[in-house]
Amino acid sequence: MKYLTYLLVCLLLVISSCKKTEIPGPGPLVGSWMWVYTWNDGAPGPTNPLTPQNGGFGEYLDLNSDYSWTSSIYGSTIKSMLVIGNFSIGHGRYTPYKGAYTYDYDSIVFYKNSVYSDATVEYFRVSNDTLMFCSCFSGLIGSTSKTYVKQSD
């Protein structure tokens, strides 16, 4: 009987210590976003940051609650272009070496035309009405950052 009680206590401890990993929903990402600027890792200059004004084009990114997305690029220097697909989001942690800062990051994978082989991974942060993509959020050095502002509904 003592052995059975011990086994039940151990089983309850194991079951109660298991955590379900929740897949984050699209929540704050849902909406229409207008591109405002892109910084590259070079020196500031006439096109760094690149903006709709100095680049001659603009972009809208629409992220939907059903995990579909569209990107429309327009402007005087390029023809209008529409890209569609699905996306998935995730969360991760990265510690480059023992004792280093641990990066908590959120990621999004854009599937163009819903094709997995034509996918792009981006690391992002959302703060109020600003969405920024940058691989620096995952601990990578020497990257560009692309910033969008949410459009009112």
Q: What is the pLDDT of residues 17-69, one digit of tens each?
A: 444 445 557 889 999 999 999 999 888 899 899 999 999 999 999 999 999 99
How many domains is the chain built from? 1
11 lies in some domain: no
Question: Which CATH number is 76's domain given?
Answer: 2.40.128.280
Q: What is the pLDDT of residues 118-151, one digit of tens each?
A: 788 999 999 999 999 998 888 877 779 999 999 9
Percent of the chain with pLDDT strictly greater than 90: 51
C-alpha Rg value of the chain to the nearest Å? 21
**pTM score:** 0.76
Find out whether 145 and 133 touch, Cβ atoms under 8 Å: yes
Which whole number is the average pLDDT over 95-111?
Answer: 91
44 lies in some domain: yes
pLDDT tier at 117, thresholds 50, 70, 90? confident
116 lies in some domain: yes
How far, in Å, CA of 6 to CA of 67, rounded?
Answer: 47
Which pLDDT score is estimated for 82? 84
18 lies in some domain: no
79 lies in some domain: yes
Q: Which spans in 18-120 are helix H?
A: 52-55
12 lies in some domain: no
Which pLDDT score is estimated for 23? 54
137 lies in some domain: yes
Which pLDDT score is estimated for 9? 39
> Would you call the peptide bond into 28 cis, given omega within 30 degrees of 0 as the criterion?
no
Q: What is the pLDDT of residues 70-83, one digit of tens each?
A: 999 988 766 678 88
Find out whether 99 and 58 touch, Cβ atoms under 8 Å: no
Domain span at 102: 26-150
**Tokens linked to 123:** 């690391």
Contacts of 75 (CB under 8 A, 6+ apart): 52, 55, 56, 57, 58
Q: What is the pLDDT of residues 5-31, one digit of tens each?
A: 444 434 444 444 444 445 557 889 999
8 lies in some domain: no
